[in-house]
Amino acid sequence: MRRNTTLPKLTPQERKPVDTSARYLLNNAKSLKYYDDYLTAGFPMATGVIEGACRHLINDRMDITEGRWTMRDAEAVFSLGSLYISGHWDEYWQFHLQQEHKPNHLALYFSGIPLSNQVLKARCSTTAPPLPIPV
């Protein structure tokens, strides 16, 4: 690459993109040597395939008519979809239920008695007050 820029006597400014690319390839030579192995194994080596799939997946989900998505909500939907597709959904769901149980349900069963029963026992009376007698 560099030789092709040296022979025609390009200026340093004209050479800059080639030098940048050559430096990248030299610095990452260790990683690049695996490309042949990956291609031989049948793995796609172009990001275009992946980018195209992502674009279609995201557009299919996000471009629903009347849909309103924040970045946070969109990320949550795709994270859950990834868990499902990867086969980790059941494991995640058990973890999720345990996490939800702690703040939302554990306090209700303090000392083994549901909190609602404790509240009912603490009331002065469980019957309604008498109705006033009309005069």
**Model confidence pLDDT, tens digit, residues 94-133:** 998 888 877 766 666 666 566 566 666 665 555 555 666 7
Binning pLDDT at 50, 70 and 90, where does residue 51 land?
A: confident
80, 88 Cβ separation under 8 angstroms:
no
Does 53 share its domain with 94? Answer: no
The answer to whether position 133 is within a domain reads no
Note whether 81 and 96 are same-domain residues: no
Same domain, 84 and 97: no
Residue 19 carries which side chain, given as an amino acid letter?
D
**pLDDT in the model for residue 124:** 55
Is there a single domain that holds both residue 61 and residue 121?
Answer: no
* Residue 41 predicted with pLDDT over 80: yes
pLDDT tens per residue, range 60-86: 777 777 777 788 888 888 888 888 888
Range of weakest confidence among 14-23, 33-42, 52-61, 103-112: 103-112
Q: At residue 91, what is the residue type?
A: E
Paired tokens of 4: 């092709």
83 and 114 together in one domain = no
